[in-house]
Structure 1
Amino acid sequence: MNRLQKWVYGNWPVPVVSGVLIIVSFAVQRFAGGAANLTLSPQWWLDAGTLSTHATTVFTLANAFMVAAAVVAGYGIVIKAVRAIIARVIGIDLLVSIAAIGAIIIGNFWEAAAVTFLFAIGHALEAATLNKTRSALAELVAVAPDSAVVMRDGEQLEIPAGQVRMGEIVLVKNGAKVPVDGQVVSGTGAIDEASITGESIPVEKSKNDHVFAGTVSQGGFLQVLAAGIGADTTLARIIHRVEEAQDAKARTQDFMDRFSRWYTPSVIVLALVAGLIAGDVVLALTLLVIGCPGALVISIPVAIVAGIGRAARNGILIKGGEFLETSAKISAVAVDKTGTLTEGKPRLTDVVVLDPTRGRAEVLQWAAAAEAGSEHPLARPILETAREEGVAPEGIPGTVTPVPGKGIVSDVAGQRVLIGNPPLLDQYSIPNDGRAAQAAEALASAGKTPMIVAVDDKVIGVIAVADQIRRDAPEMVARLHQAGVEKVVMLTGDTRLVAEAVGKATVIDEIHASLLPEDKLDVVAQLQRQGHTVAMVGDGVNDAPALATANIGVAMGAAGSAVAVETADIALMGDNLLKLPEAIGLAKQTVSVMRQNIAIALITVVLLLAGVFAGGVTMSVGMLVHEASVLVVIINAMRLLRNTRGSTAMPKSKWTIRKEEKQVIA
């Protein structure tokens, strides 16, 4: 479809044709009336009996064009009004239709044409600017790849992206869009993942790394094994989620919809009563036009669409208007330690030998053998270190019994191996002279997670694992406070000493350690009882109960995770912690715009109604001001689309300053 066809089938032909007819009417009135040496007024019917045949013809022709203009602009409005009545909905279109038809009946053709023409112009401008507010979604759709280069029968074939098969090898060359979600099997390259994570800095990719459809190669050559195609790609899920979110209503919007259902009939009744009391039909029709709640109706959805679109463009998925509105009220944020405040990639840091008959390698070997069958995330760094040092276990232990909150008990070659904390030793009556507890406490105070190793009822050593604190964790806490969050709370199943070490480094407000999953839920519920609106940031597995209880559940690093994208109230597509305060700040900004729009709409209606009763505001003037208020509301919401991505510099907060002072003192 070319530009001309798009224009013809768009929203502008109706107001353009109507406007031309109005101009022709005034031209006939000006030139033909001037030739007859007449001064024509819109109220021609009052003087028709005194006019000559020529003048009457001029009047009739001029007003025929004016009526035609009203019909062209008002036809669609009347059709919508009738359909709405059939659906038992009384809307704005009905008010404008009654006013225009009434104006024609009483012979006020100019007012009928002006009202419908201005309403049609307003509708066209509204549609154009609303499309602009959905620009973020359009950008997401635009980055969807059209073609892909695949290897088939040893040859490179360029095919439509939708025809790639699962398990095929896709070639990604410099400058090309990645057509599928998949895993790099060969090659290296830099990928711009801004369309998914909102981060503009390219990410280096090599073997075993994951890539996403819609991202763009900035250099290198990659061979990718297709694991997600078509609607199963992360980009497709994001587009689907943004579409749903932009159509989802906020609580305020639901209220405004209910208000409009009562408000519009009330305007009709007010206009009828005022017209009967004053004996003035024009007054009644003017009140119908003035009372149109157009700006009021559109004030909320346009802000929601713009806010959610802006967030999506920056790698933040907000599930809908309700969650956007709730996010603006967040006063407490609960964060899981591992994988949120820390990188989630622990490594073995210490092996302390407590049995003089055994060496470091033997303590590590027993620990690795016991953890070989464990699903605990800290098992991985122990096993990796054991492999690096040549003491990796062969096979898996006979049985592995997890003891929640304490550790595990394993059967290794007929011997019982315990790995955990002092309470685990007490539960199994393992003799302990206190050295293990002292060593564990010393390691924990350094921010490490200690695990005591016991073999056949005898403590042989203590191993420690540490997780690197994210570089942006302290700044995240500071920015959350800047965004209006009163309290940032850490929830962790780790020991108190480890939690305090991380809390000190990140300047966290409150620490809750040694928690089971149900304990995290209790802490969130307690914060809510204190009057806080709580956001919970976690991995969605052991934090699931707390995430479900919190007012807002936040998933981090959701790129590639279908579950996180579909279930989280807010999904941060990348691992950038600073996206969390950005999301809360944007939510607050959006709600502020919503309130401003409501105020603009209500003040406009009140002032126009006052102007009608005071005199001086006609139907055409009222419609002009009404449509202007609609555009002001939309333009105000469009401010949310201003992109601030990449702006990470912020003034230092008192929390940042306090942290720096502590570091200097230390």
Structure 2
Amino acid sequence: MKYQVMYDNGTRLRVRSGQWAFTKEEGYGLASLLLNQSFIHEVYTSHRNGSITVYYDGDIESKQKIFDILKSITIDDLFEAEATQIQVSKEITNDFYLKLSKMIFNRISYRLFLPMPLRNALTIYHAAKYIWQGLDSLTAFRCDVALLDGAAVAGALLHKQYKPASSMMFLLSISDALEDYTIQKAKSTLKDSLALNIDTVWVVGENGEEKQCPAVDINKGDKIKIHMGDVIPVDGKVIEGDGMVNEASMTGEPLAVHKKPGKTVHAGTVVEEGNIIVEVYSMNKETRLNKIIDLIENSEELKADTQSKAEKLADSIVPYSFLATALTYLITRNPTKALSVLMVDFSCAIKLTTPLSIISAMREASDNRMMVKGGKFLENYANADTIVFDKTGTLTNAAPKVVDVIPMSRRYKRNDILRMAACIEEHFAHSIATAIVKQAKEEGLKHEEDHSEVKYIVAHGIVTEYEGKRAVIGSKHFLFDDEKVKVTKTQEKKIEKNAKEHSVVYLAIDGKLEGIICIDDPVREEAKYVIEELKQLGIENVIMLTGDSESGAKAGAKALGITEYRSQVLPEDKSRIVEELQAEGKTVIMVGDGINDSPALAAADVAVSMKNSSDIAREVADISLLSDDLHDLVTLRKLSVGMLDKINSNYRNIVAVNGSLLVLGVLGVIPPSTSSMIHNFSTMLFGVMSTKSVLKDGEYNSTIEVEASEVA
């Protein structure tokens, strides 16, 4: 491949190979080829001029490798591929800017180079569309914006006001382009959030052996095994195993559904508990999930309520505009004054500025590494008065440490308790299990498989057989309430004495408590300051939910400055608590990261997932934080509130300016042409102001620096 380096700033490299170097689909193939390299992060291609833009690590060695790869590519190496969601999103934005540029260029060119008669003829030609849409509304007895626009354009042409009519149609075309861009961008974001990014699956052979294979090689009729916590990549029927599957991304129901042999499962849902073997019915674009994605055509579901209200408001103003026009003519008998009123269209500015404000806010959120699935979620976040935090992994670093191991009888010593616990817990990847296994490894406590198959019960604990005896490990509620493990008064005193400030994992053998492991999960350094700032920004209620013991929860809440918390909370309790808060009239934000948070995330008014969240948490969440910094919650609040403030400010300004124009037009102070010119100019000005960033430069970083210095 021959190319020329067009730009190189150390981490971003752009080369150009010429207009006919590759097709659009071959460009996607080139991107996927380059993205196979670990040092390359993003690749964008343009078939229009053969441009390839690469974002990479930035070192000289990586750049030289990119050059070597490009030089080695031949025509035979080119292959067609599908665009990634990131590429699709970028193309939507680029196409919008290209369309907008063409509109502006054509308008300027027409005014500079075309003679007046030809310009007027073009104005009449373009006006036909708006007049036809107005007639369509009239024949259907709809008094909406289309009718007002058609009447205003027709009225201007009848009075030979070609320039005002042309300006009005130019603004309306920009508004239409913006609305189309909003819908496409929202759909793209939703598709990206629903898309399954699964590279490999476990295929079960005829002899029962499991083999890891690329997901793209799966065929109908294959049998694949899905383990606990995994996203199901296909539609199919359960033929073996037993599991609880969370279908929130498919049905919206927060509670997991029991799946046994004969039951159907769908791509995009998540196995919360158990392991199942599924016979593949359909995969890739044939799955129900992808059919749902393809059917997402109703943009109303993606719009903020504010945007929907703005459009309804625009329609509701229309009858009053016609009434004001008619009254002006009846009182003055002056068609020019009546036309001045008709040419002032409140709805044009409202319809233009509201989606612009929302698009701008969503872009700003993306710039701050926050993915928002729709404008309505930003609005909900701004209006929320209650925030509910899951403790582990959200308010803490999800890196618990073992601080003490206490035997509860003479049968086993401290090291025996830790060894047994590590032996059982090593089969699971949750943070507390990792802490126990890590501690045993650091102390050199090696173990062998002395237990049978383990069974994990979500948010409770683990059941297995250890050396032929029933062994259970988990929470106090699980052991003492569910498993009816006996505990003596001496043991109770020992627990109370040694476990006041920590979360505790209990180990029982043959129905008797044998040991406790004290776990400490220190809170994030920034968490306390983030909570304080959220309160200052209007969040009245801050609630912490945790499965920890009362003592551990109390210590964590005290360290964070939280007055309301719930301890030993089960997954179904979390969703119930959220629903109770909503029943009290509160608008609830739920912040979580784990599988057991998914019911509460699904129930909340707006759900936020953290960077290292589980697949199911990201699926259910309305907003995903792409960095591991709680300060993003503060940034998001400032951004969402600022978006609503901007929209409300636009409303006030639009009413003030256009109301003044109406009065001046009725009094005959200004003619229709001047009225239209000021109206159009003010609409454009409001549109430009709507694209301004909400967050002030340096405001967020300076806040972090101050708080960091306070911590130090």
TM-score band (shorter)?
Answer: 0.5 to 0.7
When structure 1 is superposed on structure 2, of 69-78 and 465-474 the one drifting more is: 69-78
AA in 2 matched with 1:572: L
Residue from 301, 319, 341 that aligns with 1:287:
341
1:540–1:547 contact (8 Å) kept in structure 2: no
- The Cα offsets for residues 61-86 of structure 1, whole Å up to 9 and x where unpaired, read as xxxx3x54433334323323314544
1:115 pairs with one of 164, 169, 180: 164
Task: Specify the SS of the correspondent of 2:404.
Answer: strand
- Is the Cα contact below 8 Å between 2:507 and 2:516 reproduced in 1? yes
User: Structure 1: 5+ residue runs without aligned partners?
Assistant: 25-64, 141-164, 169-229, 232-239
Q: Which of 432, 435, 440 lines up with 2:495 in the alignment?
A: 440
**Is 1:16–2:108 an aligned residue pair?**
yes
Query: Equivalent residue for 1:471?
Result: 525
Mean Cα deviation higher: 9-18 or 466-475:
9-18
- The CA distance in 1 between the partners of 2:698 and 2:216, in whole Å, is 35
- Per the normalisation by structure 1, the TM-score is 0.67
Classify 1:522/1:125 alpha carbon distance in 2 versus 1 (closer, same or farther; 3 Å): closer
Per-residue deviation, 1:266: 4.2
Say which of 652, 674, 688 aligns to 1:621.
674
Provide the C-alpha distance between the structure 1 equivalents of 2:383 and 2:422, rounded to a whole number of angstroms. Answer: 47
CA distance 1:313–1:396, shift in 2 (3 Å): farther
Residues 430-475 of structure 1 show CA distances to partners (whole Å, capped at 9, x for unaligned) of 55443433343344333x2222333345443322222232222112
- Alignment: residue pair count: 519
- Residues 373, 400 of structure 1: 8 Å contact kept: no
The answer to whether structure 1 residue 600 and structure 2 residue 650 are counterparts is no
Give the counterpart letter for 2:162 in structure 1. Answer: A
Q: How far does residue 516 in structure 1 lie from its aligned partner after superposition?
A: 1.5
After superposition, residues 266-665 of structure 1 pair within 5 angstroms as 266-356=320-410, 358-371=412-425, 377-388=431-442, 389-394=444-449, 396-398=451-453, 400=455, 402=457, 405=460, 407-420=461-474, 424-425=479-480, 432-446=487-501, 448-539=502-593, 541-557=595-611, 563-640=616-693, 644=697, 647-650=700-703
- 2:277 is aligned to none
1-side partners of 2:553 and 2:562: how far apart?
Answer: 10
SS at match of 2:601: helix
Once residues 615 and 127 of structure 2 are traced to their aligned partners in structure 1, the CA distance between those partners, rounded to angstroms, is: 43
Q: Distance in 2 between matches of 1:309 and 1:433?
A: 60
Does residue 70 (structure 1) correspond to residue 120 (structure 2)? The answer is yes
**1:302-342 deviation digits (Å, cap 9, x = unpaired):** 11111111111211122212222111111111000111111
After superposition, residues 99-248 of structure 1 pair within 5 angstroms as 99=152, 101-102=154-155, 105=158, 108-109=159-160, 112-119=161-168, 122=171, 248=302
SS in 2 for 1:485: coil
SS at match of 1:378: helix
Letter in 2 for 1:440: I
Distance 1:323 1:251, change over 3 A: same
Output one character per residue of 1:72-106: Cα deviation in whole Å (capped at 9) or x when no partner. 3343233233145447676667656545554554x
- How far apart are the structure 2 equivalents of 1:132 and 1:126? 10
Q: Is the 8 A contact 2:635 2:700 kept in 1?
A: no
Cα distance in 2 between the residues matched to 1:431 and 1:297: 68
TM-score between the two structures when normalised by the length of structure 2: 0.63
Distance, in Å, in 1 between the alignment partners of 2:505 and 2:316 is 66
1:41-74 deviation per Cα after TM superposition (whole angstroms, max 9, x unaligned): xxxxxxxxxxxxxxxxxxxxxxxx3x54433334
The question of whether the paired residues in 1 share the 8 Å contact of 2:361 and 2:694 is answered with yes
Deviation at 1:596, TM superposition (A): 0.8
- Secondary structure at the aligned position of 1:287 is classed as helix
Distance of aligned partners of 1:614 and 1:463 in 2 relative to their CA distance in 1, 3 Å threshold:
same
Distance in 2 of aligned mates of 1:6 and 1:328 = 33
Q: Deviations over 1:362-388 (max 9, x none)?
A: 222232344456676523322333344
- Select between 87-96 and 338-347 the one with higher mean Cα deviation: 87-96
Equivalent residue of 1:640, what SS? coil
Of the three residues 91, 109, 132, the one matched with 1:82 is 132
SS of 1:355 mapped into structure 2: coil
How far, CA to CA, are the matches of 1:549 and 1:457 in structure 2?
37
Q: 1:9 to 1:465 in 2, by over 3 A?
A: closer
For 1:579 and 1:95, the matched residues in 2 are separated by 43
8 Å CA contact retained: 2:504, 2:517: yes
For the 8 Å contact 1:330–1:584, the answer to whether it is kept is no
What letter matches 1:624 in structure 2?
A: M
Q: Secondary structure at the match of 2:702?
A: coil
Task: Tell me the alpha carbon deviations over residues 87-143 of structure 1, each in whole angstroms, 9 at most, x when there is no partner.
Answer: 7676667656545554554xx54xx13313433564688799999999x99xx9xxx
Q: Are the aligned partners of 2:639 and 2:694 in contact in 1 as well (CA < 8 Å)?
A: no
The alignment-based identity, stated in percent, is 26
Other structure's SS at 2:389 match: strand
- The 8 Å contact of residues 432 and 459 in structure 1, kept in 2 or not, is answered as yes
Contact 2:143 2:315 (8 Å CA) reproduced? yes
Q: Pairwise CA RMSD of aligned residues?
A: 4.5
Kept in 2: contact 1:371–1:379 (CA 8 A): yes
Task: Report how far residue 499 of structure 1 moved.
Answer: 0.7
Contact 1:383 1:392 in 2 (8 A): no
Aligned counterparts of 1:422 and 1:127: Cα–Cα separation in 2: 60
Letter in 1 for 2:659: V
| Contact 1:12-1:124 within 8 A present in 2 as well | no
How far apart are 1:622 and its partner, in Å?
0.9
Asked whether the equivalents of residues 328 and 666 of structure 2 are also in contact (C-alpha less than 8 Å), the reply is no
Task: Tell me the distance in 2 between the aligned counterparts of 1:492 and 1:409.
Answer: 22
Task: Please state how far the C-alpha of 1:494 moved relative to its aligned partner.
Answer: 0.8
CA deviations 1:148-198 (Å, max 9, x no partner) are xxxxxxxxxxxxxxxxx9899xxxxxxxxxxxxxxxxxxxxxxxxxxxxxx
Change (3 A) 1:102 1:545: closer
Distance, in Å, in 1 between the alignment partners of 2:437 and 2:649 is 58
